[in-house]
Every structure is written in C-alpha cells, then in structure tokens.
Amino acid sequence: MDFLLLGYNLFVCPIGDGYVLDIVNVQNVPVPNWTLAKMSQKETSPKGQNSQIFQNPFKNFSKYDTIGENLYFRERKMTKKWQVYETDETKVKELTEKYAINSLLATILVNRNIVEEEQIQVFLHPTRNDFHDPFLMPDMKKAIDRILQAKQRKEKVIIYGDYDADGITSITVLKSFLQDIGMEVDEYIPNRLEEGYGLNKPAVKTIAEQNYSLMITVDCGISAVEEIAYANSLGIETIVTDHHEVGEELPKAVAVVDAKRKDNTYPCRDLAGVGVVFKVIQALSQTLHLPEEDYLKYLDIVCVGTISDIVPLVDENRVIAKLGLMLIHQTKNLGLRSLLLSSGYQKIDSNTISFGVAPRINACGRMGHAEQALKLFLSKNIQEVKELTTILNEYNRQRQETEKRIYEEAVAEISQKHLDQKNTIIVAGENWHHGVIGIVSSKITELYFKPSILLCKEGKVAKGSGRSIPGFDLHEALMKCPNTIEKFGGHSMAIGITVQTSKLENFNQEFEQIATESHIEEIKPIIFIDGKIELVDLNKQMVESLKQLEPFGEGNKTPIFVFRHLKIDSIRALSEGKHLKLTLKQGNTIISAIGFNLGQLAEEYRIGDKLDIVGMLEINTFNGVDSLQINIKDMMGAI
C-alpha cells in the first residue's frame, strides 16, 4: 500500500518472552508507509481490555525509529508467499561427489527431481539420440502411409494451420519438408479477426472447391468434429496433427496424431504443435530411409515454435529447445536470422525467442496478417526478407500501441470503479482489438493477482478473453454461469468468451459470487525458492555453472534464491523512477542488485536498512567487466 493511515498509541510491557500491547486509541496519521506509535514512559502496564500478546511485537514491521517519545513503525510487506524447497542434502552431497559438480547446481537438480544418472545426462547434455520413437504416437503409421500415398498419386495437399507462432512454425516445417521430398503442398491460415481459431466450414468448402483431396491440420483440428465430418462429405480426407486436449469424441479423420489422446502411449504428452509436426517428419524420414540431417535441419524452427508456445521445457521439449538453440546460432533460415537481428538481442537464448522473436510472429496473427510471418520463414530472397521483417516490426509496433491504450483504459476504469477491491475483475470497453485484449487480460491479472476478463462491446454482444491465477479454475467457474454467458471455451487459466451486453452486470455479480464462495482471497502468489545463499559462498564460476540448466522456461524456471539480512550500502531509482538499483552488503561481501519495475521502493528504504531478498543470480557485464548481480523478484525488511 502507498499510504498507511492507521496509527496506534501503544503501552508495551514484557511478559516472559512475549509482550503486551495495550491499544489506547486509534488515530489517522497521514504519513506515507509509516504508523506512529506513542510509547508509554511506564515500564509496565496492566493488561487492558484491548491488549494482545505477541511473541515478537515487531514481526509485522520492517523498520522502527524513535524520534523523541514517538516510535515509528513501517509495515513489513510480504504480499507473496516465499516457499523454499525442502532439499535432500544427502542427495545433494551424493551428486556433488559423484558427478564433480558444485553444490548449487546439485541442489537445483535435486529440487527438480533429476537425480538418476540417465536423467542427469539427458537434462544437461541431450543429443539427437534422446528423441523418442515417433511411431509410438497414436495413428502415426496411418498418417505416414496416407501422406506417402498422396505423394505417389500426386494429389493436391493442403496444410491447415493456426495463426500464432506455434502454428506458423508448424506450417513452415511441414510444408518445407514435404516439398523437400517432392510433394506440392499449399496452406490455409484462418484470419483471427474474421474466422477465429481452428477449422471452420466456409474454409473447408473453399478448400473442397479448389479440389484438394488431403488436408493436414497442424496445431489445431482435435476438436473439429463437425468440420471434419463436413470435409468428409465433400470428399476431403483429413490427417489431424495437434497437441491440444482431446474432447469426448475424436474427429472422423484418416489419422489423429495427438499425444493427449486417452489411448496415448507416447512418453512426452506436452509437445507443442510444431513438436508433433517434427515427429511426423522424423517418421517420414525413417520410412523413406533419409539421412537424419533431412529432418534435424528444421530443429531451429521447431525450437522457436516450442519455446513460443510456452510448453514445459522438460523431456523431449528440452531436447528440442537445447539442440534447437544451438542450431539457431548458425541458422540458414533467412527469415529467422533477420528477425533475430532486428530484435536487438545480443545473446541468443530462450528469452530472445520468448521476448524478441515470438511477439513479432504473433503480432501478425493478432493484427490479422499471419500470412506475412509465414512468407518470411519460407522466403529465399534476401530483399524480400528485409521488407517482410520491416512489416513484422511495424505490426509489432501497432500491437504494442494498441495494447498500451487498452491497458491504460482498463486500469483507469479499475481505479475509478475500485474494481481492484473485488475478488475478480471484469472490464468492458469499446473499440478494443480482439487480437490484443488477451495479452492485456494477462497483464491485468499479473498486476492485481486476480482473475480478469476483458470484453469488447459490439452492439448486443461483448466478446473477449480472460486469464486466471494458479489455484482458481477459470473454465470450471464459468461452467457455473450458463444463464449469463452466451458461449465460452478454453481451459483453467485462459478463456475466450461471449456475453450478451444486457446480461453483463448479472454475469459480473454471478462470477464474483462464485469466486468469493471458493475463498479465492486465500490464494497468494507463491515464489518457489531453490535455497538460501550466503554472499561469502558465491563466486563467478558457480553462477556460470547454472547455464548448464538452460534453456529456462515453463517447467524449468530460472533458479531463484533467498538472501537474508543484506544491509543496504546504496539505493536509488533508475529510468525516471521505474527500476531499483542497490548495492548490498553481508559481512565484508558486497553485491549489486537490480529490481525491474520496483523503483517505488527507493523511497521506502534507506542506507543501513537490512533486507531479505529473493531473486535470480546473474553475471552483469559493464564496460568489459563482469560482476555478480541479484535480479530481485521480491524483497522486504529483515527482522
């Protein structure tokens, strides 16, 4: 909170290890972040009616100073729960000795339950031999047989994909490989703003009118039961390749290749759509007895789609990401190389893909021009690639501006109507871009740590997107609102929704009540901490060893540590108050720290204050000099 307005006059007297605090009266004290407490001159005080016993009277406060007879407390803020792993130290010592690794690296491996020799080898040093047998995927042989039949018969084949980074990379990989083996193949990408996600009957009709006999879906299709039945009636056979959850009924396709099928025996269920496509081209290569390089050369593009789709980077996804990032450093794909250069990132890692490449691809789909991103990845013309890169950057700029406008309008309404005091946040606006409000909803949820739904009012209906917090199933909650919702779809953390404008207020009240009844206010954001570190134990080599754990992402988060009782040696705000810069001291050891978007805390702490900090360890390079740095995720005054 920015202002703490309640102050207390307190009488304090010790009782054993505890204290009695007699609350004499309550007054408003307009002092930012501080509570004024008038200290009694008496050494003892009788326990009054409003007294409370505390084992530590200062446990909720991070700082207290005496000025004359007044004692000022500052609230000890801890809005997030810090949860430290209970590490098996015996196992850590065992890994340290057996594999000659430092205790920090061993601790993280134990925390991630990577303790067996084969697990450790594949996690730290994956190779091409660690890919699973593609024919363990459901219907893979049926799919391969049908594709090769189409090749032999020279049939007209079309790939039906999605407009996001996973869909675009899926089309790129499959189309390029099928062309490599001598097939002619086209693609269809639905317009996000006009057609929405997945197969639709008008598109299927258009495909039939153009005499395609085989349609291969990528990153979609598993729920298109009616559309594929319609395709069958028009003489189009379909192969579904997808990675989304399976409904009660499978589509009547020639083959349905999806590791989330109930009859699945494939070891890795969490492949991205492009990961499933990679298994298809691997199976085709093996069937045609082609060199491994013929499908492995696409790992750079497969890696981009995998990281962009935020699938867990474990098991086969980790192999794809780790080997793919190595290939990206020397990629021959002109479009990818151009995007990397334009992103401005000096280092190529999972962050470069997540924040530099993926947003530019996704911006095309969000703004209704996904075909431009596909064209970029397929182009062999350097001049065309430069022009397309400029176009993608422009779409991304437009997306950023649109997102900023909607975000500011939404936050203003939340503030004006005090919606942040509720358990859920629903905001409806006009002229809000459908392709962008999902991102804004994510930011609103992150800002307030509450489920949010953003809606764009269009006459009699309002359409939009919602995002949730861990521990609150958004999809399940909306299932309880059948009378106020026209339609919705999605999963526990993200949904798309349509509501009648006339029912907006009723829906708002019903959704809030459902969240309240589920005791959502008890859910707190959790920071999972790998362990406590003393500054004196740190060195550059130890921090550099953590790079072996890369690529980081979903399912393999960047390690976070807790540092206790660090004394502030210097503190200041950066970038016009946006960020926080500190130097911290523990004993005779000093370390720098940076807190992005934590600049407001510069006014709350002073030199000499002691802090508990959770954050990530980094090596910061400035003017050619390397130094250790803590990237702060949360902080509070030390007790």
pLDDT over 60 (residue 485) = yes
Q: How is residue 131 written in tokens?
A: 């890919």
pLDDT over 70 (residue 32) = no
- Do residues 19 and 12 touch, judged by C-beta distance below 8 A? yes
Share of the chain above pLDDT 70, in %: 88
One-letter amino acid for residue 456 of the chain = C
Fold of the domain built from segment(s) 530-637: OB fold (Dihydrolipoamide Acetyltransferase, E2P) (2.40.50)
pLDDT over 90 (residue 10) = no
What is the location of CATH 2.40.50.460 in the chain?
Answer: 530-637
- Spatial separation of the C-alpha atoms in residues 511 and 476, rounded to whole Å: 11
Helix (H) or strand (E) holding 579: strand 579-586
Q: How is residue 337 written in tokens?
A: 């190389």
Sign of CA dihedral 467, 471, 472, 475: positive
Distance of alpha carbon 602 from the chain centroid:
28
Pairing assessment for the beta strands 589-595 and 561-574 based on DSSP bridges: unpaired
Q: What pLDDT, on the 0 to 100 scale, is given for residue 51?
A: 32
What is the location of CATH 3.90.1640.30 in the chain?
Answer: 130-310
What are 95-107's pLDDT values in tens digits?
Answer: 999 999 999 999 9
Distance of alpha carbon 266 from the chain centroid:
25
Diameter of the chain measured on Cα atoms: 99
Q: Which residues pair with 37 in a beta bridge?
A: 71
Q: Residues near 369 by Cβ (< 8 Å), separated by ≥ 6?
A: 391, 395
Nearest to 373 by CA among 165, 186, 532: 165
Residue with tokens 């151009």: 338
- For residue 591, the SS3 value is strand
- Spatial separation of the C-alpha atoms in residues 169 and 301, rounded to whole Å: 6
- Fill in the DSSP letter of residue 243: -
- Spatial separation of the C-alpha atoms in residues 302 and 281, rounded to whole Å: 11
What are 307-316's pLDDT values in tens digits?
Answer: 999 899 999 9
Q: Rounded to 5 degrees, what are φ and ψ at 276?
A: -65, -40
Give 417-522's CATH code, choosing from 3.30.70.1730, 3.40.1280.10, 3.10.310.30, 3.20.20.140: 3.10.310.30
One-letter amino acid for residue 135 of the chain = F
Q: Which residues pair with 496 in a beta bridge?
A: 465, 489
- Do residues 240 and 217 touch, judged by C-beta distance below 8 A? yes
- Spatial separation of the C-alpha atoms in residues 70 and 208, rounded to whole Å: 83
Q: What pLDDT, on the 0 to 100 scale, is given for residue 623?
A: 84
- For residue 570, the SS3 value is strand
Q: Rounded to 5 degrees, what are φ and ψ at 357?
A: -95, -55
- Spatial separation of the C-alpha atoms in residues 474 and 495, rounded to whole Å: 7
Identify the band that residue 44 occupies on the pLDDT scale cut at 50, 70 and 90. Answer: very low
What are 393-418's pLDDT values in tens digits?
Answer: 999 999 999 999 999 999 999 999 99
- For residue 70, the SS3 value is strand
Nearest to 589 by CA among 534, 535, 533, 532: 535
Identify the band that residue 231 occupies on the pLDDT scale cut at 50, 70 and 90. Answer: very high
- Fill in the DSSP letter of residue 629: E
Q: What pLDDT, on the 0 to 100 scale, is given for residue 487?
A: 83
Q: How is residue 351 written in tokens?
A: 């962050």
- Spatial separation of the C-alpha atoms in residues 482 and 126, rounded to whole Å: 48
Distances (CA, A) of 540 to 8, 160, 534, 591, 592: 48, 49, 14, 12, 13
- Do residues 570 and 590 touch, judged by C-beta distance below 8 A? no
Q: Rounded to 5 degrees, what are φ and ψ at 176?
A: -65, -45
Distance of alpha carbon 85 from the chain centroid:
21
pTM for the whole structure: 0.83
- Do residues 73 and 58 touch, judged by C-beta distance below 8 A? yes
Q: What pLDDT, on the 0 to 100 scale, is given for residue 490?
A: 76
Identify the band that residue 195 occupies on the pLDDT scale cut at 50, 70 and 90. Answer: confident
Winning range, highest mean pLDDT, from 21-35, 78-92, 444-458 = 444-458
Task: Report the CATH number of the 130-310 domain.
Answer: 3.90.1640.30
pLDDT over 70 (residue 41) = no
- Spatial separation of the C-alpha atoms in residues 503 and 486, rounded to whole Å: 10
Q: How is residue 394 written in tokens?
A: 């422009």
Q: How is residue 627 written in tokens?
A: 């130094």
- Mean pLDDT of all residues in the chain? 87
- For residue 389, the SS3 value is helix
Q: How many CB atoms lie within 10 A of CB 455?
A: 25
What are 504-558's pLDDT values in tens digits?
Answer: 999 999 999 999 999 999 998 999 999 999 999 999 999 999 999 999 998 999 9
Kindly report the three-state secondary structure assignment for every residue of 496-547.
EEEEEHHHHHHHHHHHHHHHHHCCHHHCCCEEEECEECCHHHCCHHHHHHHH
Count of alpha carbons within 13 angstroms of residue 299, beta-carbon side: 24
- Do residues 18 and 54 touch, judged by C-beta distance below 8 A? yes
- Do residues 412 and 204 touch, judged by C-beta distance below 8 A? no
Burial degree of 475 (CB within 10 A; 0-12, 13-18, 19+): middle
What are 317-376's pLDDT values in tens digits?
Answer: 999 999 999 999 999 999 999 999 999 998 899 999 999 999 999 999 988 899 999 999
